[in-house]
Structure 1
Amino acid sequence: MPRKTPKYVKKKNFFRGTPYHVMKKLENREEEEEEVITASERKLSLNKTSESPDLQSGPTCTDSRRDLEGFYLISGKQLASALQRAHVCQGGHLIPFEDQTKREGLSCTLVLRCSICSKEEEFCTSENACEGPGKSAEINRRATLAASEVGLAREGLCDFTSILGTSPPVTAPSYERHLAALSKAAQEASEEHMKMAAECLRRRAMDKDPSIKEDDFVEVAVSYDGTWHRRGHTSNHGVGVVISIDTGEVLDTEVLSKTCKQCEYRKGWDKSSDKYKAWEASHKDVCLGIHKGSSGKMEVDAAVKIWGRSEDKYKLRYKYMLSDGDSAAYKAVKDIYGDECTVHKLDCVGHVGKRMYKALDKVRKDNKGKLEDGKGVGRAKGRLRGTADTGSIGRLCKLYRSTIRSNTINMKALDNDNDKKEAVEKMRRAILAILYHSVTLSDSDVRHQYCPEDGWCEYKKTGKEKMNENHLDPVFLELLLPTFTRLSDPDLLERCLPGITQNQNESFNALIWKRCPKHLWRGPRVVRTAVNLAILAFNCGAESSRYRIFKKLNLKMGIHTTICAQIKDKYRIKRARTRAREVSKRRRKALRALRKSRDEADEEREGGLYSMGGY
């Protein structure tokens, strides 16, 4: 007869601490170990200067006043008001002191004392950004905003103030509170402006098409790109950005992070306890480390969230998606609007143009030996040589990029199948003409079969061949034909018909990581703040973005802030106009090609002096 199992078995209470004998061994081991001198400690002790000034002791309860030392950031309004109130006896003068017990970061309390009657007038060097409990000095909040705009954290701000000779910034907990207020203000300001940008885009579409009603969804074209805080797709933070192709303004962003400080702090808590469950319920909706998966998946997840809320948020449908083709974001959002609207993919012609160099470089690396004509693949006239801007490879890449850009059509023509097929076939023949024309075939009719009748081909115009030092030997026709056939695929060329680039996305990404440097560790709150500040700067410019964020932080735009922002906007417009000129573009291309040709010549002359693990 089987033995009956008792309904309740009392579990033994195991000791979960560290046993006494183990603690004793650790204590004895610590006593036996010699004190380790670190490399930093050794270097600092060896280079300690004897010329450092003797520091005075800190303020005491009986003597908190001290003569003014170093530099102070003083509000002109506060100083003028204090001078008006200060009492000075006839024949006397004012003696300034500092009450160090009331110092709060960059905000100090100064005292003006009459030299005769010793009557004092006390004033603070900075106004308060907000009144009531939890008030904060305006200078400290401005310092936090300035540090966030230039990519500094509190440590960088400490170095800055120490070199200036001013008082140090606020403590780390106070700095985090200022950063939280800044993050909230930047989030509100950027959301309000993106909503205005989306409404402007809707009005623009409704003006062009009067049949669109107020409650209808408007189909627009956008450029989407993902960017990461760390290179190599191993980042804890990723950002997805949608920019309107028509207006060039940022419409929506999504920041995904793997880490959350509060979650990491509570990793050791008992997951089954009531305390942890109560905290988890309150923290679930505000947790910043919401991404689960690899860093490369961030771009896909961000696209799904942005496309999924476009109808409810802006009454927009992102029908055309311009991307670089580096992720599976398009597949994830292709049918997100259902049967009513299918998302169409467009390719950035800048990224597509780079594929030619990668393909030609791969052909050169895969054919190390001799070809059918008994010669090597590169390093000689008539062979496959050079970089993306020099030699025969540079010539083929340049012609491929210019061919795509010169055969583009308007966005409205994408809805006409006949116009698309005609434009794609014209572009395909022009790309094949690059290869056939660049190979010195003996049969001129075969060589120029794809060349246009009234275009750039000298043979079609005069019937004579015109040689070029970057023309290739006949053996390269068969070698490169599969590459040109793949890069002239009709589906690929159809996505390149509008001829649009993602340069605006790259510019916006640079603004983000200027405020949040990639080589430094940053938390999710700092990354989100950097994204929101970048949105305001990208869409509005310096003056308007400063006004919006200052208004949210209850700060005042002074005359110096306004003038500096206006100068920055003027310089931005001037620089953009200069770079947009054709002369400037040709000059940049020529300088880039010259620089690369010089580097290539130097490496060939030196014979290669650097190779990873080669020496």
Structure 2
Amino acid sequence: MNFFSFLDSSPQVQDSKRHDINVRIQLAGHLTGIRHVGFQKICAALNLPPPLEEGRHNKRDKELLQVVQKFANESMSTAMQEAVDVAKSTDITVSGDGTWQTRGFSSKHGAADLLSTCDSPKVVDIETCSKTCNVCAGAKSLLQLGTPEARAKYDQTIINHNCGKNFDEPSGNMEASSILKMFRRSEKKYGVRYVKYIGDGDSKTFSVLKTEIPYKGIQIQKIEDINHFGKRLKRALEVIKRKCGKEKLSDGKTIGGKGRLTDQMITRFQIYFCEAIRKNKNDLDKLYKSAQAMYWHKFSTNSDHHHQFCDEAWCGYLQAKKNNTRYNHTPHGLPRAVMNKIKPAFDSICSKQSLMRVLNGSTQNANEAFHALIWTMSPKHKAASDVTFNIACYLAVVVFSDGYYSLGKKYLKK
């Protein structure tokens, strides 16, 4: 007897001809990043009937995009109202960052997003960019037939479709262009202004915001990303080490090696620096003191102490001095030849003028977590159309801000 004679069809979705199981499979395919092809394989392995035919599935994807975009807009409006309530003002702070569908700056699709800075950051706006449109690309094949009928069908396809291509510049410009667009529409869309912007120092986004001036009479304040700023010290030390190479320092040894400037030591300097910023980001004097302590603590020897910037809470020398015990600097310091060589990096990055940039700093951790969620739905190693990439972005907005449960409550009623 046929097994499928006992398999009842799933119920229809209210006010729709679609069956519940097909709706769930389509949504699950995007949430997991396996899409239609992945579910075809799953059904084949389980000896189940295949999912919707690919053409119908693609048509349903376009309908799905409209639905999830609507949900995302509702979620972002709620998140913005929450941000305004917390700030008690319509002049708010946002963190911004960009991501691309594939690695590198040659991606055909990308997105930039702005998140609130509440205790639980949420997405308040997103802009997606696509340099290609699958419908346009497919229609071009008709022209190769060279017949009047094919030309007429091409013209009809181009006229009737909603083109997914919305970006003509180099892919590397997607972030700056998209964030500027979101700033410019904030007053019309939400009635707010983004007066403070959290971003990494290497990005050209803030330069664009300063040049284009989205709000008349308002100079947007840049808040440095703590993590990116902390990496500057690491990069500066790596450059010094690379330039020195096998050069002999004043003590006759190279800069690297055991007990000298190893990669592990450079990473530890970065960790110390980031920790100093996080603990003292609201007090420039304390921040400067903590940053200087990193260098001078390592510079000190048993015969030449320089602990004037150190804190007794962590400095072994100050603790030993308080307890009237001996302290050996040798295992805790670095050779003077090494310290003299890396001093320019500390003088530049740990100066008060430099540290002022990270005063009251924050992070883009929430943006990066949001991007990681997008990548689970649109994996970087898989090609994606503009439709599937946009679906991933809008689904990620809802899931990141409101959770999977809210998505189920909204979508499965449709």
TM-score, normalised to structure 1, is: 0.61
Give 1:372's aligned amino acid. S
SS of 1:384's equivalent? Answer: coil
Corresponding residue for 2:147? none
Corresponding residue for 2:368? 506
Q: CA deviation at 1:502?
A: 1.8
Q: 1:220 aligns with which of 72, 81, 92?
A: 92
Inter-partner Cα distance in structure 1 for 2:330 and 2:358? 29
Query: Structure 1 437/141 Cα, relative in aligned 2: closer, same or farther at 3 Å?
Result: same
Query: Structure 1 274/305 Cα, relative in aligned 2: closer, same or farther at 3 Å?
Result: farther
Q: 1:253 aligns with which of 119, 126, 137?
A: 126
Corresponding residue for 1:201? 83
Inter-partner Cα distance in structure 2 for 1:329 and 1:537? 27
Query: Structure 1 437/508 Cα, relative in aligned 2: closer, same or farther at 3 Å?
Result: same
Q: Is the 8 A contact 1:233 1:295 kept in 2?
A: yes
Inter-partner Cα distance in structure 1 for 2:18 and 2:315? 72
Residue 232 of structure 2 corresponds to residue 355 of structure 1: yes
Q: CA deviation at 1:474?
A: 1.0
Corresponding residue for 1:78? none
Query: Structure 1 178/496 Cα, relative in aligned 2: closer, same or farther at 3 Å?
Result: same
Q: 1:323 aligns with which of 191, 195, 199?
A: 199
Inter-partner Cα distance in structure 1 for 2:330 and 2:61? 61
RMSD between aligned residues: 2.6
Query: Structure 1 234/472 Cα, relative in aligned 2: closer, same or farther at 3 Å?
Result: same
| Residues 520-531 of structure 1: pairs in structure 2 closer than 5 A | 520-531=382-393
Residue 280 of structure 2 corresponds to residue 407 of structure 1: yes
Inter-partner Cα distance in structure 1 for 2:156 and 2:62? 23
Q: 1:346 aligns with which of 213, 223, 230?
A: 223
Query: Structure 1 428/137 Cα, relative in aligned 2: closer, same or farther at 3 Å?
Result: same
Corresponding residue for 1:448? 307
Q: Is the 8 A contact 1:459 1:465 kept in 2?
A: yes
Residue 406 of structure 2 corresponds to residue 541 of structure 1: no
Give 2:10's aligned amino acid. S
Inter-partner Cα distance in structure 1 for 2:379 and 2:96? 22
Q: Is the 8 A contact 1:512 1:531 kept in 2?
A: yes
**Overall identity of the aligned pairs, in %:** 30
Q: 2:12 aligns with which of 119, 128, 141?
A: 128
SS of 1:126's equivalent? Answer: coil
Query: Structure 1 171/313 Cα, relative in aligned 2: closer, same or farther at 3 Å?
Result: same
Query: Structure 1 354/263 Cα, relative in aligned 2: closer, same or farther at 3 Å?
Result: same
Q: Which consecutive residues of structure 2, in runs of 5 or more, have no partner in the other structure?
A: 145-150
Q: 1:473 aligns with which of 335, 342, 357?
A: 335
Corresponding residue for 1:332? 208
Give 1:515's aligned amino acid. M
Q: 2:69 aligns with which of 181, 187, 191?
A: 187
Query: Structure 1 145/395 Cα, relative in aligned 2: closer, same or farther at 3 Å?
Result: closer
Inter-partner Cα distance in structure 2 for 1:229 and 1:500? 26
Query: Structure 1 234/203 Cα, relative in aligned 2: closer, same or farther at 3 Å?
Result: same
Q: CA deviation at 1:177?
A: 1.8
Q: Is the 8 A contact 1:149 1:515 kept in 2?
A: yes
Inter-partner Cα distance in structure 2 for 1:545 and 1:492? 44
Query: Structure 1 131/316 Cα, relative in aligned 2: closer, same or farther at 3 Å?
Result: closer
Give 1:429's aligned amino acid. K
Q: Is the 8 A contact 1:439 1:476 kept in 2?
A: no
Q: Is the 8 A contact 2:93 2:194 kept in 1?
A: yes
Query: Structure 1 204/394 Cα, relative in aligned 2: closer, same or farther at 3 Å?
Result: closer
Query: Structure 1 131/194 Cα, relative in aligned 2: closer, same or farther at 3 Å?
Result: closer
Query: Structure 1 480/305 Cα, relative in aligned 2: closer, same or farther at 3 Å?
Result: same
Q: Is the 8 A contact 1:458 1:466 kept in 2?
A: no
Q: CA deviation at 1:195?
A: 0.8
Inter-partner Cα distance in structure 2 for 1:267 and 1:278? 12
SS of 2:412's equivalent? Answer: helix
Q: Is the 8 A contact 2:180 2:214 kept in 1?
A: no
Q: CA deviation at 1:156?
A: 0.8
Task: Report Cα offsets for 1:497-543 as digits up to 9, x if no partner.
Answer: 22422221121111111011111111111111111111111111121
Q: CA deviation at 1:189?
A: 0.8
Normalized per residue, which structure has more helix?
2
Corresponding residue for 2:148? none
Q: Is the 8 A contact 2:131 2:167 kept in 1?
A: yes
Q: Is the 8 A contact 2:121 2:366 kept in 1?
A: yes
Give 1:377's aligned amino acid. I
SS of 1:309's equivalent? Answer: helix
Residue 19 of structure 2 corresponds to residue 68 of structure 1: no
Give 2:77's aligned amino acid. K
Query: Structure 1 319/444 Cα, relative in aligned 2: closer, same or farther at 3 Å?
Result: same
Query: Structure 1 163/249 Cα, relative in aligned 2: closer, same or farther at 3 Å?
Result: same
Q: CA deviation at 1:470?
A: 4.3
Q: CA deviation at 1:288?
A: 1.5
Corresponding residue for 1:378? 256
Inter-partner Cα distance in structure 2 for 1:167 and 1:314? 47
Inter-partner Cα distance in structure 2 for 1:292 and 1:274? 27
Q: CA deviation at 1:372?
A: 1.7
| Residues 477-488 of structure 1: pairs in structure 2 closer than 5 A | 477-488=339-350
Q: Which consecutive residues of structure 1, in runs of 5 or more, have no partner in the other structure?
A: 1-66, 73-95, 98-109, 111-123, 207-211, 213-217, 410-422, 555-615
Task: Report Cα offsets for 1:185-206 as digits up to 9, x if no partner.
Answer: 1111110111111122223333
Q: Is the 8 A contact 2:223 2:361 kept in 1?
A: no
Query: Structure 1 468/546 Cα, relative in aligned 2: closer, same or farther at 3 Å?
Result: farther
Report how many residues are paired.
Answer: 400
Task: Report Cα offsets for 1:296-329 as digits up to 9, x if no partner.
Answer: 1111111111111111111111111111234211
SS of 1:266's equivalent? Answer: helix
Task: Report Cα offsets for 1:421-460 as digits up to 9, x if no partner.
Answer: xx32432233122112211457736x334446x6644555
Residue 177 of structure 2 corresponds to residue 301 of structure 1: yes
Corresponding residue for 1:147? 29
Inter-partner Cα distance in structure 2 for 1:405 and 1:528? 35
Task: Report Cα offsets for 1:231-259 as digits up to 9, x if no partner.
Answer: 12221111101110124111011110111
Q: Does 1 or 2 have the higher relative contact order (CA < 8 Å, sep 6+)?
A: 2
Query: Structure 1 163/276 Cα, relative in aligned 2: closer, same or farther at 3 Å?
Result: closer
| Residues 56-135 of structure 1: pairs in structure 2 closer than 5 A | 67-69=1-3, 96=5, 125-129=9-13, 135=17
Query: Structure 1 140/459 Cα, relative in aligned 2: closer, same or farther at 3 Å?
Result: closer
Q: Is the 8 A contact 2:399 2:407 kept in 1?
A: yes
Give 2:219's aligned amino acid. T
Q: Is the 8 A contact 2:13 2:20 kept in 1?
A: yes
Q: Is the 8 A contact 1:154 1:175 kept in 2?
A: yes
Larger Rg: 1
Q: CA deviation at 1:280?
A: 5.3
Residue 22 of structure 2 corresponds to residue 168 of structure 1: no
